[in-house]
């Protein structure tokens, strides 16, 4: 799966195209643009790494209420990923980007200054986990390319619902409990999950394939090992994940 990388200098052109405005539209404070959609999280999603420390605010202003903090690394030590939803320029000429925040509580978004984020990467995939039908589906450019049965959280330790994304991917060595492949998400359980260290909802393999489909986990999404290997190969970091 090939990713496109978009430089900071190209953001103004992208914003104009996504907004449907002429590419020559001015971005100066004298002609401030409206909010520009950067991701639809279905067929087009833009994401970035944090490059400088920064806060996320409830509104695109440093005087607004703080709702989170940008960080460089996930709990497992991989570069942290932020989904870029929309952008806006304030009266001072500062560009702000609304991002999804990987933190408790789930499904929090906040505004960060554009300069705190690196280049925008593009993915065109989407994952959907259905807790009722016990299925996961992967879409690429809106077309289904993979589906498999899954195991989800028990009623006492449910897999949380919401809009998340794939933050990290890695191979698992010496732990048949998780299979050979794992993908960490931005979903957090209210209790401990199967994930090492607890708390993070992941998609991973299993040493108990007979429990799939079912509700055997502490919150993580389990796949049979052959299925997680296929899904791992098809799913890039930054892929949106809808759990419903």
Q: Active-site positions?
A: 204, 220
DSSP state of 171: E
CA-nearest of 117, 86, 111, 153 to 7 is: 117
Tell me the Cα Rg of the chain: 19
Other residues' Cβ atoms within 10 Å of the Cβ of residue 204: 25
User: Is residue 33 within 8 Å of residue 85, measured between CB atoms?
Assistant: no
CA-nearest of 205, 200, 170 to 187 is: 200
CA-nearest of 112, 187, 193 to 151 is: 193
Give bridge partners of residue 111 from the DSSP assignment.
Answer: 57, 98
Note the maximum CA span of the chain: 63
DSSP state of 56: E
Cα–Cα distance, 23 to 13 (Å, whole number): 6
User: Is residue 38 within 8 Å of residue 14, measured between CB atoms?
Assistant: yes
Cα–Cα distance, 109 to 165 (Å, whole number): 13
Cα–Cα distance, 196 to 96 (Å, whole number): 35
């Amino acid at each position: 799966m090939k990713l496109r990388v978009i430089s900071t200098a190209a953001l103004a052109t992208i914003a104009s195209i996504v907004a449907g405005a002429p590419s020559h539209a001015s971005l100066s404070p004298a002609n401030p643009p409206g909010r520009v959609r950067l991701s639809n999280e279905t067929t087009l999603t833009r994401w970035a790494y944090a490059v400088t420390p920064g806060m996320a605010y409830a509104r695109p202003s440093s005087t607004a209420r703080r709702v989170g903090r940008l960080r460089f690394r996930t709990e497992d030590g991989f570069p942290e990923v932020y989904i870029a939803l929309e952008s806006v320029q304030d009266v001072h000429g500062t560009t702000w980007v609304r991002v999804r925040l990987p933190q408790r509580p789930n499904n929090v978004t906040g505004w960060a200054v554009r300069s705190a984020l690196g280049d925008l990467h593009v993915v065109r995939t989407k994952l959907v986990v259905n807790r009722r039908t016990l299925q996961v589906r992967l879409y690429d450019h809106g077309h289904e390319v993979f589906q498999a049965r899954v195991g989800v959280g028990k009623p006492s330790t449910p897999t949380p619902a919401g809009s998340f994304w794939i933050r990290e991917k890695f191979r698992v060595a010496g732990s048949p409990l998780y299979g050979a492949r794992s993908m960490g998400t931005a979903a957090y359980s209210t209790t401990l999950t199967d994930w090492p260290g607890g708390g993070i909802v992941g998609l991973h393999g299993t040493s108990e394939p007979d429990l799939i489909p079912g509700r055997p986990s502490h919150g993580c999404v389990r796949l049979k090992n052959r299925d997680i290997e296929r899904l791992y190969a098809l799913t890039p970091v930054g892929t949106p994940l809808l759990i419903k």
